[in-house]
């Protein structure tokens, strides 16, 4: 079995494990409310030599009965603790969207140089030191919060139209939103020297401006390309190839991956 199939509750493999360890790893961190399956539509875009894992956050999926009370910083620390066994000495890349981008950013600050990813893509989040949105989700009543979810266009209609599902889903999601609103990175942190980072956003995202995305440059020592793609906050599902391209191209240059066929690179 693959050495990276750890017993950690924080990781969820997105492909059946093979008989040998694959030479590289993609770790994807979900957005608020997202479970371990949210990035599965991307699997056809990914080469066979890449192991694909998502972060399994508390309060959903197989961790449904665990309250999602951990802050963004606490989640990042817990993930980093279990990460060395998953990486198993291989080159790896990191993706995070929205709340996932914030968790991924905190992971970068916690990881030692030897465990840093080869590349990272962060999307759908303003620079982490900027003031959070003023939605005050923690104090919204049920109707107002459901309307917010409709406006954001990221929650499946079958959930929004089903009171029983909402009863299960809303408390977890409201806590996720509260974690995002309470999170703010200190503005005077040391610049991240590694890894290379790409920032993406939706050109019709009502809460995140181009300036909010460009401000990520103040978190990294090297230039950070910023790209606006067509769409709202959940533009990622229409632009998987563009988001994955920097990660795959970076991995293709590593010695561990070069012996494998890269004909299916984007």
Average pLDDT score over residue span 215-241 = 96
Q: Report helix, strand and coil shares of the chain as percent, to nearest 5.
A: 40, 15, 45
Average pLDDT score over residue span 136-163 = 80
The predicted-structure confidence for 36-52, as pLDDT tens digits, reads as follows 999 999 999 999 999 99
Q: CA-CA distance, 179 to 251, in Å (whole number)?
A: 32
Structure tokens at 49: 């030599």
Q: CA-CA distance, 123 to 99, in Å (whole number)?
A: 9
User: Quick one: pLDDT at residue 223?
Assistant: 95
Going from N- to C-terminal start, the domains of the chain cover 11-129+185-252
User: Which three-class secondary structure state does DSSP give residue 13?
Assistant: strand
Burial 88-97 (b: 16+ CB within 10 A, else e): eebbbbbbbb
- Whole-model pTM: value is 0.90
Residue 98 catalytic? Answer: yes
Give the confidence band of 265 by pLDDT, cuts at 50, 70, 90. Answer: very low
User: Quick one: pLDDT at residue 262?
Assistant: 47
Average pLDDT score over residue span 205-212 = 92
The predicted-structure confidence for 83-100, as pLDDT tens digits, reads as follows 999 999 999 999 999 999
Fold of the domain spanning 11-129+185-252: Rossmann fold (3.40.50)
Q: CA-CA distance, 147 to 3, in Å (whole number)?
A: 44
Q: CA-CA distance, 52 to 31, in Å (whole number)?
A: 17
Between 159 and 91, name the one with better pLDDT.
Answer: 91
Average pLDDT score over residue span 50-79 = 94
**Of the residues 4, 12, 98, 123, which is catalytic?**
98
Give the mean pLDDT of the chain. 89
Lowest mean pLDDT among 136-140, 191-195, 196-200: 136-140
């Amino acid at each position: 079995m693959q050495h990276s199939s750890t017993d950690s509750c924080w990781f969820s493999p997105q492909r059946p494990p093979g008989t040998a360890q694959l030479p590289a790893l993609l770790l994807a961190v979900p957005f608020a409310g997202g479970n371990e399956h949210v990035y599965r539509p991307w699997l056809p875009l990914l080469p066979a030599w890449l192991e694909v894992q998502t972060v399994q956050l508390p309060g959903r999926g197989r961790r449904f009965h665990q309250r999602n009370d951990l802050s963004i910083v606490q989640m990042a620390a817990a993930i980093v603790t279990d990460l060395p066994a998953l990486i198993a000495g291989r080159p790896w890349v990191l993706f995070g969207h929205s709340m996932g981008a914030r968790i991924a950013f905190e992971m970068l600050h916690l990881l030692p140089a030897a465990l840093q990813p080869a590349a990272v893509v962060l999307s759908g989040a303003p620079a982490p030191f900027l003031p959070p949105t003023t939605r005050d989700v923690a104090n919204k009543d049920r109707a107002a919060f459901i309307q917010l979810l409709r406006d954001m266009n990221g929650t499946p209609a079958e959930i929004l139209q089903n009171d029983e599902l909402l009863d299960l889903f809303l408390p977890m999601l409201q806590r996720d939103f509260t974690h995002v609103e309470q999170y703010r990175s200190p503005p005077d942190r040391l610049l991240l020297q590694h890894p290379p980072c790409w920032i993406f956003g939706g050109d019709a995202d009502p809460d995140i401006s181009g300036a909010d995305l460009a401000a990520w440059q103040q978190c990294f020592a090297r230039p950070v390309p910023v790209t606006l793609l067509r769409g709202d906050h959940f533009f990622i599902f229409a632009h998987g190839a563009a988001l994955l391209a920097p990660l795959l191209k970076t991995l293709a240059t590593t010695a561990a991956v070069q012996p494998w066929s890269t004909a299916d690179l984007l």
